[in-house]
Amino acid sequence: MARRIVIVVLSLLALLSLVMSGCTPVPAETPTSAGTEPTAIPEEEKPDTYKIALGTPLTGDVAMYGPDHVTAAEIAVEEINAAGGINGVPVELVVEDDQCAGEGYLRAMTKVNAQGIPIYASGFCSSAVLNACSKAQELGMVFYAHGSNPRIASECGDYTFQTWGNDRDQGIEQVEIVEWLGAEEVAVVYTNNDYGIGVKDGFVEQFTAKGGKVLVEVPVMQDGTDFRTEIAKLKALEPEYTIFEMYGPP
């Protein structure tokens, strides 16, 4: 997973260079007119650093993912700076704890915007992305979001970009596993949030389209601790296979 985050951050830093080029003088390789020599950017007009904000859950239900995100981002920044930064300017990473929650995102975005940082890389949780992307639009801040719910593309504005395929695609891919097992009937248990619903819908749609039967769809709460009712439903049906579209707390 850390390798994936490095790749994401490297692509994000490439985007940062494009954003920053719109905020700085003409790049050194761009001629001002035909037949003239390119003009270098005066050193005094360059900033000391280009800051980029990384929001990740360092506390909250999925805090176990945050430290890996930070480590991977730090590795990517080291590689960029070792290669000369962006137009000779080093990149500085600013880390915010967004708690993978809508309010956490809004708080972090507001704080980052107050520092004049143009890009906020975060969005690890789909529900929080959907709740916060309008704030990015309002602030004119590029929101480089991990969240992968299919609604993000239609409900968020032009400033929000997704870095992962959508949740439905994950569910569709899982059908291949069930087919490999030879299952014709399954039960599905899923986390009742935007992520869990997206994955579940993708799986159910693809599985039933290919002739499979879903015996029951059982929603559970992310922070739930008592699943006796859900287990009773499964026990009554006695499915040969049960698909769990869930993730647990640390």
Q: Locate the domains of the chain by residue range.
A: 2-162, 167-245
Tell me the C-alpha distance between 41 and 29, whole Å: 10
The answer to whether 2-162 and 167-245 have equal CATH topology is yes
Most confident listed range (48-57, 164-173, 238-247): 48-57
246 phi-psi bin (left φ>0, alpha ψ -120 to 50, beta other) = beta
Pick one of 3.30.70.100, 3.40.50.2300, 3.40.640.10, 3.40.50.300 as the CATH number of 167-245.
3.40.50.2300
**What pLDDT does 71 receive?**
94
Amino acid at 58: L
Chain centroid to Cα 248, Å, comes to 18
Measured CA to CA, the distance from residue 241 to residue 12 in angstroms comes to 40
pTM of the full predicted structure? 0.60
Give me the CATH topology for the region 2-162. Rossmann fold (3.40.50)
Report pLDDT digits (tens) over 47-93.
889 999 999 999 987 888 889 989 999 999 999 999 999 989 999 99
